[in-house]
A and B are shown apart, each in its own frame.
Chain A
Amino acid sequence: MDHFPSNWGRPRNDAIDQYATYPIHSRPKDSFAEGVQRTQQPIVTGTSVLAFKFKDGIMMAADTLASYGSLARFKDVQRLHAVGNHTVVGAGGDMSDFQYIQNLLEQLIVDEISAQDHHTLSPAEIHEYLSQVMYARRSKIDPLWNSLLVGGFKDGEKYQPSNPRRPLPLTVYLRFLAYVDLLGTTYSASTLATGYGAHIAQPLLRKAVESREEILTEEQALKIMEACMKVLFYRDARSLNKYQVATITKDGVKISDSKTLDTSWSFAENIRGYGAQTQ
């Protein structure tokens, strides 16, 4: 037991040692003196993000809930973020860290505009940037507590070999979909899901999408997405029946207004221990 009150630490007010009368070597410690606090756990969190490839691009969805533990704290938070004209980043995990990431990306895009070099960041470049940021932060043991999906559609340029002196850009559209998380782990697949969705929705998505990436229309894709979001709302206790869908195609990014899921709970009456029964 430390019997010296001056070593017990104190808040930042000057209740103790008001006039700094202690000799320097035994000056009372500030309770913040231990150094910077790093994120040890997420506080306000978003749940799953889903995304997959379809014929004309990428579709991504996330509900609009930001939870505080088990409390449904903020019910109208947008977790899909457009970056430039070809990319969407969807985030699960800590929402304050996500807002910080949004600021980083915003400045990244402004810098890119300012360069005026006719280059715009492709989804792959944005994903690489995010992976480097996430990995660097985990390596400082100060992670950004998120799972992110990056989806995009970008015109890659191929030069026409017929006239190399004045190459006309031949537009090649490329779909891009990849994941990165707080550890800096990355991967890519035609269907992706973060958090709880990785367990509940990913198998459904794989069944519905794999090998049909070149066939699925936007309407079909939307149906699949809605079905998955519905299952997630039924099964994930940290989810909400309000969600947004982003579609990224050659025409750019489109993020929908929030949609409401039509769910039915009548079956619940027959479940014992739930609802109106008394025994």
Chain B
Amino acid sequence: MTSIGTGYDLSASTYSPDGRIFQIEYAGKAVENSGTVIGLKVKDGIVLAVENLIHSKLLVPEANRRIQTVDRHIGLATAGFLADGRQIANRARDECASQRDLFSRGPELKTIVNRLGLYVQAYTLYSSVRPFGISTILGTVDKNGPSLHVIEPSGVSFGYHGAAIGKGRQLAKTELEKLKLSELSMSEAVLEAARIIYLVHEDAKEKDFELEVSWIGPESNFTHVHVPNELYKEACTKAKAALETFD
């Protein structure tokens, strides 16, 4: 951490002499500490999966979800500070509502991602605020088919075929690259997603985690919902079994 002690990392409104904004990079660290989140864009749908690290056994299962719905057909998953994730989801909901209000139809994800990007970026400009400590994966299926985007703490956003953020993102990306995403069916994608989350969790085995999987596509009537129970259980069993045979 060459930045520490130089004084250039105290504010998001200050560049370092070599043109970096350390506060944004620190925000990136907050994301790296978080449980892994992946998103898959497959043949006719989107699958989101989260490694939800359980920090207390007293938490009610399934009560603290990391995958959120912002509109009928748009799902959002965050890695990083949970509270910032809630904030971004609420902002996304407002953006969707205002698009609906204006155009009387479901918003396009591209527009929402752009507007959220602007919002996140605004928090990199001032010394009075801190940047968002999250990366956000957004997915949708609309008349143009599925699409998947990631917004980073800097406010930059990209579209992806497969995305991974959080602690295990490197391994997850490697695994995603091995898949023929454009040929996978939705249910196959759910199984793969579960397998990858279980796999990347191997590095943090001492912590408990809860797998969360949602999808959007023909199987879910093109709404964003958590996957049905049977499929979820099947995915968990198969993921555990795959761990045994891995490496």
Q: Give yes or no for direct A-B contact (beta carbon below 8 Å).
A: yes
Residues of chain A at the chain B interface (Cβ within 8 Å): 103, 106-107, 110-111, 113-114, 116
Q: Given A103-B100, A107-B97, A107-B100, do A113 and B68 touch, yes or no (CB 8 Å)?
A: no
B92-134: contact bitstring with A at CB < 8 Å (1 yes, 0 no)? 0100110011001000000000000000000000000000000
- Cβ contact of A110, chosen from B65, B68, B72, B104, cutoff 8 A: B72
Task: State in angstroms the CA–CA spacing of A110 and B224 once bound together.
Answer: 11
Task: State in angstroms the CA–CA spacing of A103 and B65 once bound together.
Answer: 29
> Shortest beta-carbon distance, B175 to chain A, in Å?
28
Contact across chains for A103 and B70 when beta carbons are under 8 A apart: no
Q: Given A116-B65, A116-B68, A116-B69, do A110 and B100 touch, yes or no (CB 8 Å)?
A: yes
User: Is B223 positioned at the interface, with any CB of A under 8 Å from its CB?
Assistant: yes
Contact across chains for A110 and B101 when beta carbons are under 8 A apart: no
Task: State in angstroms the CA–CA spacing of A121 and B180 once bound together.
Answer: 40
Contact across chains for B104 and A114 when beta carbons are under 8 A apart: no
User: Is B152 positioned at the interface, with any CB of A under 8 Å from its CB?
Assistant: no
Query: Which residues of chain B come closer than 8 Å to A110, judged between CB atoms?
Result: 71-72, 96-97, 100
Q: Can you name 11 A-B residue pairings with CB atoms under 8 Å?
A: A103-B101, A107-B101, A110-B71, A110-B72, A110-B97, A111-B97, A113-B72, A113-B223, A114-B71, A116-B68, A116-B69
Query: Which residues of chain A come closer than 8 Å to B68, judged between CB atoms?
Result: 114, 116
- Cβ contact of B69, chosen from A106, A107, A113, cutoff 8 A: A113
Query: Which residues of chain B come closer than 8 Å to A106, judged between CB atoms?
Result: 100
> Shortest beta-carbon distance, B72 to chain A, in Å?
6
Extra 4 A-B pairs, beta carbons < 8 Å, given A111-B93, A113-B69, A113-B72: A110-B100, A114-B68, A114-B71, A114-B93
Query: Which residues of chain A come closer than 8 Å to B104, judged between CB atoms?
Result: 103
Complex: chain B residue closest to A116, CB-CB: B69
Complex: chain A residue closest to B96, CB-CB: A110
Query: Which residues of chain B come closer than 8 Å to A116, judged between CB atoms?
Result: 65, 68-69
Max chain B C-beta neighbours (<10 A), residue from A103, A110, A113: A110
Task: State in angstroms the CA–CA spacing of A113 and B70 once bound together.
Answer: 8
Task: State in angstroms the CA–CA spacing of A277 and B97 once bound together.
Answer: 60
Complex: chain A residue closest to B74, CB-CB: A114
Task: State in angstroms the CA–CA spacing of A232 and B70 once bound together.
Answer: 44
> Shortest beta-carbon distance, B64 to chain A, in Å?
11
Task: State in angstroms the CA–CA spacing of A110 and B104 once bound together.
Answer: 13
> Shortest beta-carbon distance, B4 to chain A, in Å?
40
Complex: chain A residue closest to B89, CB-CB: A114
Task: State in angstroms the CA–CA spacing of A116 and B72 once bound together.
Answer: 11
Complex: chain B residue closest to A115, CB-CB: B69
Task: State in angstroms the CA–CA spacing of A216 and B23 once bound together.
Answer: 70
> Shortest beta-carbon distance, A99 to chain B, in Å?
8
The 4 closest A-B pairs by CB, nearest first: A114-B69, A114-B93, A116-B69, A110-B72
Query: Which residues of chain A come closer than 8 Å to B69, judged between CB atoms?
Result: 113-114, 116
Query: Which residues of chain A come closer than 8 Å to B96, judged between CB atoms?
Result: 110
Complex: chain B residue closest to A102, CB-CB: B104
Task: State in angstroms the CA–CA spacing of A106 and B71 once bound together.
Answer: 11
Task: State in angstroms the CA–CA spacing of A116 and B77 once bound together.
Answer: 14
Task: State in angstroms the CA–CA spacing of A111 and B65 once bound together.
Answer: 17
Query: Which residues of chain B come closer than 8 Å to A103, judged between CB atoms?
Result: 100-101, 104
Contact across chains for A114 and B70 when beta carbons are under 8 A apart: yes
Max chain B C-beta neighbours (<10 A), residue from A107, A111, A114: A114
Task: State in angstroms the CA–CA spacing of A113 and B104 once bound together.
Answer: 17
Query: Which residues of chain B come closer than 8 Å to A113, judged between CB atoms?
Result: 69, 71-72, 223
Task: State in angstroms the CA–CA spacing of A116 and B71 once bound together.
Answer: 11
> Shortest beta-carbon distance, A126 to chain B, in Å?
17
> Shortest beta-carbon distance, A169 to chain B, in Å?
15
> Shortest beta-carbon distance, A121 to chain B, in Å?
14
Task: State in angstroms the CA–CA spacing of A110 and B94 once bound together.
Answer: 11
Query: Which residues of chain A come closer than 8 Å to B65, judged between CB atoms?
Result: 116
Query: Which residues of chain B come closer than 8 Å to A111, judged between CB atoms?
Result: 93, 97
Task: State in angstroms the CA–CA spacing of A111 and B96 once bound together.
Answer: 10
